[in-house]
Amino acid sequence: MIFSATSKKNFEKKILSREHEDFGVIKHIETELKRKRGWVFQLPKPEQPVVLLLSGGLDSIVAWHLLMKKYGLMVYPLVINKGMKRTHLEMRSVKYYSKLYQKLFPDLYQAPFHINLPLTEISIGQAVFTEKVHPLVILENLTDSAALKLSLSLGSSILTPFVAKLYAQFLYSTQHLTIKTIFCAVTKGDGENSLVPEQTFTALRTMMWSLCVLTRDYEWQYASVALEKELGNFLSKADLIAWADQHQIPLEHTWTCYHPSIDQTHCGECITCSDRIKSFEKVGVIDRTIYYDQKASLYRRLIDKFKLFIRYYFNL
């Protein structure tokens, strides 16, 4: 085993030291869950069905393997397509690991289910943009075809557990499967900065409580397999990389990058690429990911964006 279990006491100490956690909220929710149902989180028994929010990224791909290999769960992956530019690359990753895991876990593997939830295809008229919006916002939201489309994907992780709940309902209606546990792949590093407040441990507990309250069904569980006190897991991306390396799972087919290069490789520059690179280095595992030439990539993107901006803003 690559990573050792974290005791509940040590888990709570680590959470207390994190700037963006609210320990009082966590304890209140856990107290209420115990009062309502007698437990906070219980791992389903082996071969029981669960839903996993899957993106094609490194974390969720390894989490998929972890749930089947370590815990023996029958995983029903849910892929939510939000219309991001990188979606086709994430789907390429999902397709690759679907084939791999089907061979490795023939009795537990279930094909990913895809739901479209477009949050990036919101077209804005030129008049609105040019009269009311700062030119920098226009520049940031120009597409390659010089159209203006805003994205509402930032922070949309708050929606995904509720979409997963609907998928569980679908599985009950079509296959008479009762699924009350939804997993995600948030790691300990995801909620340590202010950019992703919906990925703190506080947020995970809050969303689980919300699922229960909004449905009046206190059987619902929502947790990250990488960040769950009751499992003893306080895992980083580096820990997941080490797990994959131990089990000979190639990670170069996963997709992390927010800004794919023109040749459809990782840019090597964005915050997610940087985190990926550092995590491989930290655990001492060879990173076989192909990264684009950083200087050439940045130069081309700036030139292309500037040309589109001039063309659209001045109506050329």
Which comes out higher in pLDDT, residue 305 or 182? 182
Which comes out higher in pLDDT, residue 227 or 157? 227
Which comes out higher in pLDDT, residue 119 or 138? 119
How far apart are the C-alpha atoms of 148 and 124, rounded to whole Å? 6
Residue 124: the pLDDT is: 62
Residue-wise pLDDT for 126-137, tens only, equals 555 556 666 666
**Which whole-number Å values give the CA distances from 221 to 42, 182, 215, 249, in the listed order?**
8, 6, 12, 28
Which comes out higher in pLDDT, residue 181 or 156? 181
Which comes out higher in pLDDT, residue 233 or 152? 233
Q: Which residues of 257-273 are buried (b: 16+ CB within 10 A; e: fewer)?
A: bebbbeeebbbbbeebb
Residue 155: the pLDDT is: 64
Stretch 114-135: mean pLDDT: 67
Of 49-53, 197-201, 247-251, which gets the smallest average pLDDT?
197-201
Which comes out higher in pLDDT, residue 223 or 195? 223
Of 105-109, 158-162, 311-315, which gets the smallest average pLDDT?
311-315
CA atoms 103, 104, 108, 113: torsion sign: negative
What is the residue extent of each domain of the chain? 1-117+159-252
Work out the angle between the directed axes of helices 237-246 and 58-69 (0-180°, nearest 10).
50
H-helix or E-strand spanning residue 29: helix 23-37
Residue 140: the pLDDT is: 59
Residue 313: the pLDDT is: 65
Token pair, residue 247, equals: 């089990």
Per-residue DSSP letter, 84: -
Residue-wise pLDDT for 216-262, tens only, equals 999 999 999 999 999 999 999 999 999 999 999 999 999 998 887 77
Percent of the chain clearing pLDDT 70 (strictly above) = 80
Superfamily in which the 1-117+159-252 domain is placed by CATH = HUPs (3.40.50.620)
Question: Which pLDDT band, with edges at 50, 70 and 90, does 85 fall under?
Answer: confident
- Structural contact between residues 148 and 132, judged by C-beta atoms closer than 8 angstroms: no
